[in-house]
Amino acid sequence: MNIRFTDNPPIDPVREGRDAQARRAAIQAADAIPVFEPAVTVDYRSAGRSLVVGSAAHALPLADRIAGVLPVTVLLLDSQDEFPLRPYPVHQARTVAVAGWLGAFEARWQAPGQAVGQGRFDLVLDLCPSRLIPSHQRPHGYYAPGDGEAARLAAGEAMLDMVGDFEKPKYFAYKERSCAHGRNGQKGCSACIEICSAQAIADDGDRIKVNPYLCAGCGACSTVCPTGAISYAFPPAALTGKRMQAALRCYREAGGEDPVFLLHDPEHGAELLAALGDAVPGRVIPLALQHTASTGIDVWFGAVAYGAAGIAILTTGNEAPQYLAALDQQMTIGQAVLDGLGYDGPHFQLLQAGAPEELAVALRHAPRGRVPSEPAVFHLANDKRNTLDYALEHLHRHAPLKPEAVTLPPGAPFGAVEVNRGACSLCMSCVGACPAGALQDGQGAPLLRFIEKNCVQCGLCASTCPENAISLAPRLSFAETRGQAVVLNESRPFHCIRCDKPFGTLQMVENMLGRLASHPAFSGHLDRLRMCGDCRVIDMMEPRDEMRVTSLKRS
Ligand code: SF4
Ligand code: SF4
């Protein structure tokens, strides 16, 4: 969202002073919440075995420097010329592949006419024209400084310190049970895999798997996860919510108005804010997060329910492009909900600023959205769907408008499914595929039921349905029935023509007859499709050329 501002709203100095004072109280209150200590850590061990890859001109001088401290191996991409013998291995390589992380890199290389070489390394210095590991977020222990000589030297120096045991927090928690990635081989949601800029998340059959060594802690996976199966743990949403709630309470009590949270990272974003100093508008409350992509609509709706007039996210150009797109999309969904409820906005602002002056101008246009008449008192949960339930319930209860439903853009994690009754055979494949318990069978009766509140719009039902009878309808329902099982389709049961037992639906049998009428297995025996499984087997086993003995009832 790149907005060029042409006007400058006037500043009321009295109000500005009061807001700035209230902000000081708000920041103090947020800072008083105990710092989060990660319970689980990820450990690395590095003995300093270093791999340097690049041209002879760049790689050898740096390798000479590193070799004075660490064991080093060099792969030269260009030179066939003679060079002075080195006290460390130097190989020619035409192709090189590297994967891994600090303490666990694996490299394979090959030169024309030579066998494939391979090795394990703790550190990699990549001086190639295009990076060997292309992910936006680089693994720990991997240095790719680019063209500048100063950057190359700095990377070489940094490597010298990377020996020993290291640890970092485990940034995520994954609840396999709630994941909508797949069912029975059908693929549903892959949002986290697609967004991860560290390539730390991969398909694992019906589940996903996260490599904690590659995970860099940006949290974008949890932002886009529709179910909350993957959640951010550093800090968890509940703690961020506590800080926001405490800050807003104190801000209000100190007489501040229209508070906006400015979520920023603790490095580049914090530097920009420090450079701005008192020029940050009084109603803007900065809140540092490990990464600015780590919060989504659950936390934002919670903040608005607590009384925040807006959420601004400060990006500084260091974020992966897909994170900006995802934040923009989440803001669009969030604003659609708030607009639908009559809360005049905007409430969200995605800021891109590389210099303090740019930030100063943008912050004068910080969002000033309408808020509920009463601030919410619930606490944010670590479970995303729970928080969304609480926040939306509060926002709806105090909303200026009370729509039955708000239509949302595609990709929203709420919605209905529409079933084409003419095509649906009530085979219940979708019920088995639904990871959220949104689709239910009739417990013996031929009917399909749906609980809208549970639906995360993963699309697994639609991709599983053999009749292509299901389509998604993203929306947020506020109807009383949203938590109830409503019937999407029902049919009369079909009774076996031989034993009269109900075994399916009329529609299902008609579909089978239509499809299998010309199948050789049923040639001359089409009636078997109108029989239950048991009778079909009996009918197949019965000798056709013997007289049939039927017991006659005595009258
Ligand atoms: S449901 Fe969440 S954890 Fe599962 S694939 Fe989708 S984004 Fe990933
Ligand atoms: S009903 Fe909703 S949650 Fe269930 S499979 Fe379909 S789209 Fe996914």
pLDDT at 549: 47
- For residue 80, what pLDDT band results from cuts at 50, 70 and 90? low
- Residue 135 CA to residue 24 CA, distance in Å, equals 40
Nearby residues of 477 by Cβ (< 8 Å), 6 or more positions away: 404, 405, 414, 416, 452, 453
pLDDT at 381 exceeding the cut of 50: yes
pLDDT at 541 exceeding the cut of 60: yes
From 439, 450, 453, 486, mutation site for ligand 2 pocket: most ligand atoms within 8 A of C-beta: 439
pLDDT at 546 exceeding the cut of 60: no
Please check whether residue 182 is in contact with residue 209, taking contact to mean a CB–CB distance below 8 angstroms. no
- For residue 97, what pLDDT band results from cuts at 50, 70 and 90? very high
- Residue 246 CA to residue 285 CA, distance in Å, equals 12
**From ligand 2's centre to the CA of 111, what distance in Å?**
51
pLDDT at 507: 74
**From ligand 1's centre to the CA of 321, what distance in Å?**
20
326 lines ligand 1 (CB under 6 A): no
pLDDT at 49 exceeding the cut of 90: yes
195 lines ligand 1 (CB under 6 A): no
- Three-class SS state of 522: helix
The runs of H, that is alpha helices, within 32-138 are 56-67
Q: What is the ipTM of this complex?
A: 0.95
Element (H, E) at 350: strand 348-352
In tens, the pLDDT along 297-354 reads 999 999 999 999 999 999 999 999 999 999 999 999 999 999 999 999 899 999 999 9
pLDDT at 269 exceeding the cut of 80: yes
**For helices 237-253 and 13-31, what crossing angle results, to 10°?**
140
Average pLDDT value for residue range 397-417 = 97
From 194, 195, 224, 230, mutation site for ligand 1 pocket: most ligand atoms within 8 A of C-beta: 230
Q: What backbone phi and psi angles, to 5 degrees, belong to 317?
A: 95, -5
Average pLDDT value for residue range 91-109 = 97
Pairing mode, if any, of strands 260-264 and 310-315? parallel
Q: Which residue has its alpha carbon closest to ligand 2 atom 4? A: 434
**From ligand 1's centre to the CA of 229, what distance in Å?**
6
- Residue 391 CA to residue 451 CA, distance in Å, equals 19
Greater model confidence, 3 or 162: 162
Q: Which residue has its alpha carbon closest to ligand 1 atom 8? A: 192
- For residue 402, what pLDDT band results from cuts at 50, 70 and 90? very high
Lining ligand 2 with CB less than 6 A are 180, 417, 433-434, 436, 438-439, 455-461, 472
In tens, the pLDDT along 479-523 reads 999 999 999 999 888 888 999 888 777 777 887 888 787 787 777
- Residue 50 CA to residue 67 CA, distance in Å, equals 9
**From ligand 1's centre to the CA of 28, what distance in Å?**
36
pLDDT at 544: 64
pLDDT at 295 exceeding the cut of 50: yes
Greater model confidence, 91 or 444: 91
pLDDT at 545: 55
In tens, the pLDDT along 522-537 reads 778 888 889 988 888 8
pLDDT at 3 exceeding the cut of 60: no
229 lines ligand 1 (CB under 6 A): yes
- Residue 76 CA to residue 272 CA, distance in Å, equals 41
pLDDT at 72 exceeding the cut of 80: yes
**From ligand 1's centre to the CA of 225, what distance in Å?**
5
pLDDT at 35 exceeding the cut of 80: no
Domains of the chain: 13-36+237-397 (no CATH), 43-167 (3.50.50.60), 170-232 (3.30.70.20), 407-490 (3.30.70.3270), 494-541 (no CATH)
pLDDT at 555 exceeding the cut of 90: no
**From ligand 2's centre to the CA of 399, what distance in Å?**
28
Please check whether residue 299 is in contact with residue 265, taking contact to mean a CB–CB distance below 8 angstroms. no
pLDDT at 58 exceeding the cut of 50: yes
pLDDT at 7: 59
**From ligand 2's centre to the CA of 296, what distance in Å?**
21
- Residue 308 CA to residue 317 CA, distance in Å, equals 26
pLDDT at 492: 83
pLDDT at 1: 42
Give the ligand at the shortest distance from the Cα of 226: 1
**For ligand 1, what atom is nearest to the CA of residue 189?**
6
Give the ligand at the shortest distance from the Cα of 465: 2
From 424, 458, 470, mutation site for ligand 2 pocket: most ligand atoms within 8 A of C-beta: 458
225 lines ligand 1 (CB under 6 A): yes
